[in-house]
Amino acid sequence: MPEEKDSPSGFKVVDRRPFSPEGKPREAAREEEQKPASRPAAPSSTPSEAEQEPISEDYSPEGAAGFETLVSYLSTTAMFQLGLLPGPAGERIPTDLPNARRTVDLLEVLQEKTQGNLTPDEARLLDDILYELRLSFVEMEKRLHQKKQ
């Protein structure tokens, strides 16, 4: 097997194992060990730091992946699926009850699996959101049923 190979797809395959198939140390591996670790150059197609859009001041990496964010994400998804929120351009999103039910079910699984491990505020947040989503689901189901009759 060659050490380096250029494929027609443009991908380069490099064998970085420190030993050859015969079990002998490779010269390239020794050279890599002696080199200080350096950051690879960024591809030229990406914008420079000055050209990139600044990160919103509201974004905080520490709290971005918290429990409240997960619950908010799932509840917002369910509201879109129920047709309660407009799309990004203000357009009406059609109701998707089967997927809305699945999203509410995911929140119920989350509630079941985290029971006893949530703070009182987190538990209340999840209870309130599930209550509102269940009511909205039943209401949308009734509306769609009435339209079909």
Percent above pLDDT 90 for the chain: 44
> What pTM does this model have?
0.56
Question: What's residue 87's pLDDT?
Answer: 84
Is the confidence at residue 72, as pLDDT, over 70?
A: yes
Is the confidence at residue 43, as pLDDT, over 60?
A: no
Question: What's residue 36's pLDDT?
Answer: 55
Q: pLDDT digits over 93-109, tens only?
A: 899 999 999 999 999 99
Question: What's residue 60's pLDDT?
Answer: 55
pLDDT band at 28 (very low <50, low <70, confident <90, very high): low
| Amino acid residing at 144 | L
Domain ranges of the chain: 67-148
Residue 37 burial by Cβ neighbours in a 10 Å radius (0-12, 13-18, 19+): exposed
3-state secondary structure the chain: CCCEEECCCCCEEECCCCECCCCCECHHHHHHHHCCCCCCCCCCCCCCCCCCCCCCCCCCCCCCCCHHHHHHHHHHHHHHHCCCCCCCCCCCCCCCHHHHHHHHHHHHHHHHHHCCCCCHHHHHHHHHHHHHHHHHHHHHHHHHHHHHC
User: What are the contacts of 65-70 at 24+ separation with CB within 8 A?
Assistant: 67/114, 67/118, 67/122, 68/122, 68/125, 70/110
